[in-house]
Amino acid sequence: MENIVSLAISLAYILLVIGLATLIAHHQGGRSEYSRKFVHIMVGNWVFITPYFTSLWAVALVPFLFIIINALNSRFHLFPAIVREHENLGTVYYAFSMCVLSSAAFEFGWHELSFIGLLTMAYGDGLAALVGGRWGRHHPFAFARDKSLEGSLCVAIVAFLTTLACVFAFPELHADSLTMANAWYAGEAVSTAIFLLESVLIALVTGAFAAFVELTGTNGCDNLSLPISTGIFASLLLRYGSIGMTIYLLVALGILIYAYRRSAITTDGIVAAELTAATLYAFSSIWVAGSLLLFFIAGSLVSKISNRSKRKGESRQGDVGARNWKQVLCNSLPACVAVWLSHFSQSTNTGALICFSVFAAACADTFSSEIGMLSHGKVLNLINLKPVPNGTSGGVTLLGVIAGIAGSALLAIPSAGQYGIRGFVFVCALGFAGTLVDSALGSTIQQRFADESGQLMDAPAYPRQRAAVGIAYTSNNVVNMLTLIFICLCAYALRGFVIA
């Protein structure tokens, strides 16, 4: 009965918001900008109803319905008051974020996950557009010239206040922290002061993180990246934060900033990488967290090595240059999913082994590709052993094979700290197997295009060119993801060789 009542209240509230937005648009002479922001802000208040749901299907049903409604609205303009003339999929992303965060919060029991994420998106992002549009006078961000400092401060302030409010609203977030503080510090007053200081610092860090995420979002994608990233980041800090985690994240951030200045990573790539770092540190060991940094440093360094042969090979590839969020996620998401699953199934030892194998495979593939293209020797297709041009997906060289072994061995070193020599050999072998699987998939299912001479290359020769071979839309990033998922499954199936 509670679910039916909550569903009825939810639908009535959202329809009321849309109705009021229609009146606002009518009053504004049909202009929808203010009405859109009204909906953007007010719909976020739905999160206050979610604690009254008692079943997962019920809490997910409302945003799921609005994913469909918003998709239809963006196409047919069913509700003109909440859609622009040239609308992107921002409203669909908004409903999708509501569905993901509310469902995850219900399943994990992490109420702050949905509250911080959705309220930051609703109020922070909504007010940022209004404040930035009217009072935004300063545009200091070279990578986001259309966004103002004033608008970014709105996002930061809302994220800060929401995070701090959640600390005191949800007892489970401060009960354990106060208990730990009492154990370390004499006196209840001192421990409470330490807890308050830690809470304020976490809220400040979350505010800064949220503002940066909002700056990197374009074409409505911030309705995905802002709530999901901020909700996860804040939850990890509130539940697993420590001095060691703080130092680790600062070190990771320093490396990422340096890489950005060297054009090795994009701003949205920084967001994905920092969120990955927080996840691995929270749910796994310091050895796994260290392997992530080692992979990124090593991968960035070898990508900067170049010669004439490599430059020619890179001209045949797509996604060349700084790593963006897609590339970061395709190389780290399987590991993140593994540690999430292992954490909640209380199999963290298995999760760590999977992570080591994933990063060894990713590093082996990076070394094999980046160093292999330096070779002036023959490049052979791994499947049929026929010569192919340098830089062609699925092509291998002797130098690339040696580099792949070296990359795998390098990323297997941290695993020895947790599993010993047996773990090192296991991870090294799976890592090198990963680069072979990647080459095999690259030469079979990856989409490739024909150039003027009929030779295959990863990048299309002209806009809307159809793939000559492979499966459409199966890019190198997709191949990387499939390879690492395969390595995850292999590591899990063969874990008995390492874990007794």
Indicate the pLDDT class of residue 448, thresholds 50, 70 and 90: confident
Tens digit of each residue's pLDDT (9 = 90 or more) over 261-293: 888 899 999 999 999 999 999 998 889 999 999
Burial (CB < 10 A; 0-12, 13-18, 19+), residue 317, is: middle
Average pLDDT, stretch 111-132?
Answer: 93
Average pLDDT, stretch 227-235?
Answer: 96
Q: How many CB atoms lie within 10 A of CB 53?
A: 21
The yes-or-no verdict on residue 313 having pLDDT over 60 is: yes
Average pLDDT, stretch 11-21?
Answer: 89
Residues 6 or more apart whose Cβ sits within 8 Å of residue 396: 368, 372, 379, 380, 381, 382, 439
pLDDT for the residue 347:
78
Tens digit of each residue's pLDDT (9 = 90 or more) over 78-89: 666 566 655 668
Indicate the pLDDT class of residue 221, thresholds 50, 70 and 90: confident
The yes-or-no verdict on residue 31 having pLDDT over 70 is: no
**Is-above-0.75 flag for pTM?**
yes
pLDDT for the residue 80:
64
Q: pLDDT averaged over the chain?
A: 87
pLDDT for the residue 388:
83
The yes-or-no verdict on residue 230 having pLDDT over 90 is: yes
The yes-or-no verdict on residue 144 having pLDDT over 90 is: no
pLDDT for the residue 425:
95
pLDDT for the residue 83:
62
180-184, 405-409, 442-446: range with highest mean pLDDT? 405-409
Contact call for residues 491 and 354 (beta carbons, < 8 A):
yes
